[in-house]
Chains A and B, each alone.
Chain A
Amino acid sequence: MGAIYILWLRELKRYVRSRVQIVVSLGQPCLYLLALGFGLGPVFRQAGHGSYLQFMAPGVVGMTVLFSSVFSGIAMLWDRQFGFLKETLVAPVSRMQIMVGRTLGGATVAIIQGTLILVICLIAGFRPHSWFAIPLAFLFVAMIAIVFAALGTAIGSVIKDMQGFQLVMNFLVMPIFFLSGALFPLANLPLAMSIITKLDPLAYGVDGLRGVLINTWHFNLAFDVAVLAGIAVLFLSAGAYLFTRIEA
């Protein structure tokens, strides 16, 4: 247990200490929120869908959690580069504990980031349909964080250089974000796109967030929770398997 705790704590310390990083990583969601939220707002309203800011705020929270959690997993690349990974790999603790500590740390950081963005959304004018929805929203934030921190760990165990990192960002993380319905409704999409969005884990996270926060569902609460829990188990197992196979 000590190993899990100390590695979790390390992730948190790194986060708190990199103030520039915090500002940078919050900058992008803010840009989406302001540029798209206010820019596309009038179009969205004219199409008869109501306020775009209300619609996309849960999506931007989901996006923040996605990026933050995947990044923390991929940060393993740096630990590999600077050698620290080796120190943990030869320690007399199981790889499983190391993987769990790192992943939980990354997920915790992502939850903090998501919370900060939610606060920014509230300041920008977003209003949940009920304040009691906030705790339930945190359930979804936490689930998204765990799913993608585990994915990040799995990816971080496999890629060895910056090229791999670019590849993952462009062909995995960005598509996961754009096809999740964070920015547009999933209803009435062309068939092919509709199928792809259903394969996107983040779609269920964003739907859950949007459902509990503004009471607009594409799927439903129980289904979203069940799918996310299933994917979390799957990704955690994959992350654990790949992490135990890393050669020091």
Chain B
Amino acid sequence: MISVSHLVKTFGDFTAVSDISFDVAQGEIFAFLGPNGAGKTTTIKMLTTLLRPSSGHIELDGLDPTVRQKQARQRFGIVFQDPSLDNEQTAWENMDLHGVLYHVPRKVRAQRSEELLKLFELWERKDAYVKTFSGGMKRRLEIARGFLHTPKILFLDEPTLGLDPQSRNQLWTHVKRLNETENTTVFLTTHYMDEADRVAHRIAIMDHGKIVAQGTSAELKEQTKTESLEAAFLSLTGSSLRDEGADSKDRLRQMAQMFQRR
């Protein structure tokens, strides 16, 4: 369903993603783990047509997203790291607007919105403005919205960041269920090892723009001779702290400023 070969993204002389290759089968839940700045978000951005790869090849459901952008976008759903809901509209209106943008026929739109809002336990609040929602409710709504146009692939970029354990737990239960009932391929990034361990069929660990290991949770543990995924992760990526912050765009901006000063 997703096939990536020799993907590279450079910003000036900084290499954010350095020659990575992997495949994700249909119906699989694939987790990308890695310290801050490892290149996870840059990879997701390239997969979802938001960034152009410097080189390498991507295939989503047999399509090259850099060439057939619109067709590719129709086939996937994405939940960004930061919220992307319209706070001034109701939950229902947010779903409806998404459905229109993704060419979902009116009847299907109404029916699926109802199903998904019920599944994610938001049906009672469907006519409330999103600005009155808690963080967990907003996340649930975004994920429900991501499923609305029956995407073949759903991208989740750190979807559980800042949520309490109850919300996280519930969220993954729903995602897993939809993955099983609709055979949606799920590509996710997270910092929570226990989540990856529990949800993902296969895991890739990324560091410094490279994939340092991939396989099932059991395979990773075996490979590193460790007891837990967390230990495996630390053994693969080292335990030194990474610089928090500067994402690829910030780095570009900093570079542009330095350039101007010269």
Contacts and interface: CB of A to CB of B under 8 A. Distances in A.
Contacts of A88: 101
Contacts of A82: 83, 85-87
Given A6-B97, A10-B89, A92-B71, A86 B80 contact: yes
B58 to A, nearest CB: 15
Contacts of B49: 90
Contacts of B249: 247
B88 interface: yes
Instruction: Sort chain B's interface into a size bin.
Output: 20 to 34
B74 interface: yes
B82 interface: yes
Interface in B72-130: 73-74, 78, 80, 82-89, 93, 96-98, 100-103
Interface string A160-171: 000000000000
Given A90-B49, A90-B78, A10 B97 contact: yes
B102 A10 contact: no
A88 B50 CA distance: 12
A174 to B, nearest CB: 27
Contacts of B82: 83
A3 B100 contact: yes
Interface of A: 2-3, 5-6, 10, 13-14, 17, 79, 82-88, 90-94, 247-248
Contacts of B78: 90
A90 B73 contact: yes
Nearest to B88: A14
Given A83-B82, A90-B78, A92-B71, A6 B100 contact: yes
Contact of B86 (A3, A10, A92): A10
B155 to A, nearest CB: 10
A83 B83 contact: yes
Contact of B74 (A6, A10, A86, A92): A92
Contact of B102 (A14, A84, A91): A91
Given A2-B100, A3-B100, A10-B97, A92 B84 contact: no
Given A2-B100, A91-B101, A17 B88 contact: yes
